[in-house]
Structure 1
Amino acid sequence: MPSGKILFLATVYTHLAAFHIPFMRFFQERGVEVHAAASSAKGHKENVEAAGVICWEIPFARSPYSPANLKAYRCLKDLLWKHRFDLIHVHTPVAAFLGRYLAKITHQGPVLYTAHGFHFYKGAPRRNWLIYYNAERLAARWTDGLIVVNGEDYENARRMGFEPGRNLFYVHGVGVDLSFFGAPSYENAVRRELGLAVTDVVVTCVAEMNPNKNHIFLLNAWKQIATRETHSNNHLLLVGSGELKSYLEEKVKREHIPRVHFLGFRRDVPAILHASDIVTLTSKREGLPRCIMEAMAAGKPVVATNVRGSRDLVDDGHTGFLVEPGDVTGLAAALERLMRDPELRASMGAAGKAKIQDYSLDRVLAEMAAIYNRYLDE
């Protein structure tokens, strides 16, 4: 791989800090100068800078309708006229669209786009198909390589004209560092902190509290379960923060839903997962959810909604259960079945841990290295 300059581009630095620092280090270890460009409005720019990456501020807004993106367009255009990059790797819809167009008109090197979950998908609102699908069809002409992380997006990419092995690639997500999910020497500490007994059954959801993650659906199912006397030793841990946190806390209080613990943002997610018996995710849509991958790495069975991305990971009846979005009774039944059966939890957890080896960070780095080398060699 020749020395040179690489640019990682996303709408917010939060995304780059959470998922792409290992790939930036991959280039740095090979003598490549790594740059990143995004908005720091949500924080975490300092995490990327701490990795030795040259960072640029581009004031993107997540909404494609925001007038702030006009300023972002001008800032990014100015950056790309001043710097020539040997490869640009774009992420997230707004930054990816503007970045691909500007890379072509400023005569940059090849442009790769990782779609972490197209905003058009089976069951998506018609507006999403009209806006995002047509935007991606237009941007296809500026995309040298498209990387997808789930089966549904792979098929949609083929329909847009991308060709497997030529400019369409399937990779196993952003990878999970399995070294964080080894022997759980600290799980009892988490239970002690929360006042939970070793015999309590703990269900955990790790997700930002926004409408898409659908915590209301989960709480409605939990209400069915937790108010039964036979489940008086079951606890629900909600890990994460977000715009709906106050509303959800008020719902729990108003409806007297028992044994729900709001843990907020945590940096010890591996320990929390090891202290859990079951992990759940009730999203309306996903790309390829890392929280499910981490749960499987920790050897936990997963109950998830039957949506793109989640169903790529969860083998229904083997590594966990899939339920239809909105089926409160079905979600409650799936959780209850696992609560009652520790042997089933153990067998499903073991099956998930075996499956997730394919999604390890080492494997994904190897998959991405092959793609990067292909375009840099050209």
Structure 2
Amino acid sequence: MKKVLLIASVDFHFTSFHIPYIKYFQQRGVEVHIAAKSGERTKELEALGVIFHHIDFSRSPYSPKLFRAFFDLKELMSREKFDLIHVHTPVAAFLGRLAARSTKTEPVLYTAHGFHFYKGAPVLNWLIYYPMEKIAARWTHGLITINREDYERGKHFNLKRKNGLFYVHGVGLSLEEYFIPQNFDQERHKEKMGFRKNDKIVVCVGEFTRNKNQQQVIDAMHEAVKIDPDIHVLFVGTGEQEEKLKKYVKQLNLSKNIHFLGYRRDIPEILWAGDAFILTSRREGLPRAMMEAMAAGLPIIATDIRGNRDLISHGQEGYLVPIGDIEKTKEAILQILKDSKQVEVMKYKVKEKIKIYSIESILKEMDQIYKTFINI
């Protein structure tokens, strides 16, 4: 029986993105191993028949834990003799490729879910992560990128295999989960959530971090509600900056218009109640939350950055705004909530655009890549 090893920093990376790929290998008689830091999702992975190996990774490239993680990976590869290694997440991917090189385990694939160096990235990111990726590329047989900027960057890497650079449309999304049911009554659902018929709802899903930059949404709303007080933003998620942003909302007297819903499992229903989606991140690889909103038919407001640009074109599926530009963000919110023919066209275009990002489409793309490196 052939064996593959999937590597990432934490277990929930696999439950979030890779269950279809685990099943893909299992259906072809391949034994799937995962090396990651064990957590709340480990049992869920083991219930799928995965052989889980706890590796105490750190996401920080400075952590002394990484030495132990490297030797544990090296011992695992020497013992198990894998037929394919597929690595994810920057630090774990570097160590995985180094261990594979040390044990002469190959081939090795790496999916870059968004390089930490990009146009506009902090200088420190370029000083640390660019050399890491440049060096590790020489131990990599296949580099899989999920946005155009990373694909172009990857052309400058010296991969171990000729023609080893690939571009795929993300990790795949089960679109049907987010399609609005025909019998869904948006007005009634809004009322159940405590909103009025005429209220307009903008949804924002994401962890509260500096990178997700929710303050730009709040500042834009401070101006937008002066013109249209019926606009509401629903923030879905948790994170380190949550309390700080809640206090900021209170300071601006926006508590009636900005609502913090916390961690939720009913994301599709929240999206179906919405009229638009907004994401003002400073950095993205290919934002899954935006893809989910597109499948639900919501026009998009997003910052004009890598990843976001791959999903929408300005004026087509929504609007792209500069990072930190409050005035243009406000204008985009007001414009996208107008009941106009242009917005109706946007709702159609987002549903058409997202089709190529379905899990069915991505599995076909990945099937061709996997079969290039392993006979299954």
Is the structural similarity TM-score above 0.5?
A: yes
Which residue number corresponds to residue 355 of structure 1? 353
Structure 1, 83-92 or 73-82: larger mean CA deviation: 73-82
Letter in 2 for 1:318: Q
Summarize deviations over 1:199-230 as a string: whole Å, max 9, x none.
3110000111111000111111111112x1x4
Summarize deviations over 1:316-340 as a string: whole Å, max 9, x none.
1010000000101111111111122
Which residue number corresponds to residue 369 of structure 1? 367
Q: How far off its partner does 1:15 sit?
A: 1.2
In the aligned structure 1, how far is the partner of 2:287 from the partner of 2:321? 16
Summarize deviations over 1:84-138 as a string: whole Å, max 9, x none.
1111110000100000010121122311000000001001111111111111110
Which residue number corresponds to residue 120 of structure 1? 117
Q: How far off its partner does 1:187 sit?
A: 5.9
**Which of 264, 270, 273 matches 1:272?**
270
Q: Sort the Cα spacing of 1:46 and 1:344 in 2 relative to 1 into closer, same or farther, 3 A.
A: farther
Paired residues for 1:176-191 under 5 Å: 176-184=173-181, 185-186=183-184, 188=186, 190-191=189-190
Matched, 1:133 2:133: no
Q: How far off its partner does 1:248 sit?
A: 1.2
Q: Percent identity?
A: 47
Matched, 1:110 2:107: yes
In the aligned structure 1, how far is the partner of 2:192 from the partner of 2:78? 53
Q: How far off its partner does 1:183 sit?
A: 3.4
In the aligned structure 2, how far is the partner of 1:122 from the partner of 1:29? 40
Contact 1:187 1:274 in 2 (8 A): no
Summarize deviations over 1:66-95 as a string: whole Å, max 9, x none.
222222222222222221111111000010
Paired residues for 1:199-214 under 5 Å: 199-214=198-213
Which residue number corresponds to residue 231 of structure 2? 234
In the aligned structure 1, how far is the partner of 2:32 from the partner of 2:251? 50
Q: Could you tell me the TM-score, scaled by structure 1's length?
A: 0.94
Which residue number corresponds to residue 23 of structure 2? 25
Cα RMSD of the aligned pairs, angstroms, is 1.8
Q: Sort the Cα spacing of 1:40 and 1:244 in 2 relative to 1 into closer, same or farther, 3 A.
A: farther
In the aligned structure 1, how far is the partner of 2:173 from the partner of 2:294? 10
In the aligned structure 1, how far is the partner of 2:220 from the partner of 2:111? 34
Contact 1:221 1:328 in 2 (8 A): yes
Contact 1:175 1:359 in 2 (8 A): yes
Q: How far off its partner does 1:165 sit?
A: 7.7
Letter in 2 for 1:323: V
Q: Sort the Cα spacing of 1:73 and 1:187 in 2 relative to 1 into closer, same or farther, 3 A.
A: farther
Runs of 5+ consecutive residues of structure 2 not aligned to the other structure: none
2:143 partner SS: strand
In the aligned structure 1, how far is the partner of 2:185 from the partner of 2:75? 50
Matched, 1:243 2:227: no
Letter in 2 for 1:71: R
Contact 1:209 1:242 in 2 (8 A): yes
Matched, 1:7 2:9: no
Contact 1:84 1:109 in 2 (8 A): no
Letter in 2 for 1:175: G
Q: How far off its partner does 1:190 sit?
A: 4.7
1:212 partner SS: coil
Letter in 1 for 2:264: R
Paired residues for 1:216-227 under 5 Å: 216-226=215-225
Which residue number corresponds to residue 175 of structure 1? 172
Which residue number corresponds to residue 326 of structure 2? 328
Contact 2:138 2:160 in 1 (8 A): no
Contact 1:186 1:271 in 2 (8 A): no
Which residue number corresponds to residue 90 of structure 1? 87
In the aligned structure 1, how far is the partner of 2:64 from the partner of 2:275? 46
In the aligned structure 1, how far is the partner of 2:47 from the partner of 2:240? 28
In the aligned structure 2, how far is the partner of 1:21 from the partner of 1:186? 29
Contact 2:110 2:143 in 1 (8 A): yes
In the aligned structure 2, how far is the partner of 1:102 from the partner of 1:359? 32
1:137 partner SS: helix
Q: Could you tell me the TM-score, scaled by structure 2's length?
A: 0.95
Runs of 5+ consecutive residues of structure 1 not aligned to the other structure: none
Letter in 1 for 2:203: T
